Amino acid sequence: MRREIVFHRSARLLLRPPWPEDWNIVLGGIADEGVVRNLARAPWPYNAEDARKFVQLPVTPQHPRFLITRARDAALVGCIGIDVRDGNASGETELGYWIARPYWGQGYATEAGRAVLDIARMLGHERIVASHFLDNPASGKVLEKLGFEATGRIVERHSCGRGAKAPTAEYELKLVENSDSDVSQAA
């Protein structure tokens, strides 16, 4: 599978693809039970082999994944991307992210999320889904700031880091508005 190199610069951040030599900085940012327990796919404890596997995962042009780094000093803030939702036969595209604990509460997730949603629009995605574990309401606030709307569905989702299922709140964001009403009004 061909790897596309995509970078994105926002006001404070540089989003860039993970490279194999990044495994150690990924490990340093995510090897925190408070971070991993809020993720569906990352195991706990998270170790060097997990980080090495993560940075070598294939990336498709339609579903990019980025390391979130500060533009001023290249410090790793976290990771963000869009991917096909696990276990979903309809192929929904899901936004996922994590932020290293020292950077919580500083607006980095929202800034990186806006950048990735801009990229998703450019790639032609029409709808993005997301979710958060109910005991992580801060992530729900980020999703709302990004324009996601709660669907009202609470779904049990497996968390590798927790080693069990936990309830999640589901959200969706339509990136392309339905223009059928515009067409009928113009006719």
Contact 121, 132 (CB under 8 A): no
Q: Is the pLDDT of residue 181 over 50?
A: no
- Return the residue matching tokens 């951040």: 13
Region of 163 (left: φ > 0; alpha: ψ -120 to 50; beta: rest) is: left
Q: What confidence tens digit (pLDDT) does each residue in 11-21 have?
A: 999 999 999 99
The tokens for 56 are 């070598």
> Which pairs from 140-145 meet CB under 8 Å and 24+ separation?
140/169, 140/171, 142/109, 142/110, 142/113, 143/113, 143/171, 145/110, 145/113
- Return the residue matching tokens 């596309």: 4
Q: Is the pLDDT of residue 2 over 80?
A: no
Helix, strand or coil, per DSSP, at residue 25: helix
State the pLDDT at residue 186: 43
Helices (H) and strands (E) in the chain, counts: 6, 8
- Going from the N-terminus, what domains does the chain have, and what CATH number goes with each? 8-125 (3.40.630.30)
d(CA 60, CA 83): 9
Region of 105 (left: φ > 0; alpha: ψ -120 to 50; beta: rest) is: left
Task: Please choose, from the candidates 73, 71, 78, 66, the residue with its C-alpha nearest in 3D space to the C-alpha of residue 105.
Answer: 78
d(CA 49, CA 4): 24
State the pLDDT at residue 60: 87
State the pLDDT at residue 150: 98
Mean pLDDT of the 103-126 span: 97
Q: Is the pLDDT of residue 63 over 80?
A: yes
Contact 43, 50 (CB under 8 A): yes
State the pLDDT at residue 39: 95
State the pLDDT at residue 148: 98
State the pLDDT at residue 180: 52
pLDDT > 70: what percent of the chain?
Answer: 89
State the pLDDT at residue 184: 41
Helix, strand or coil, per DSSP, at residue 126: coil
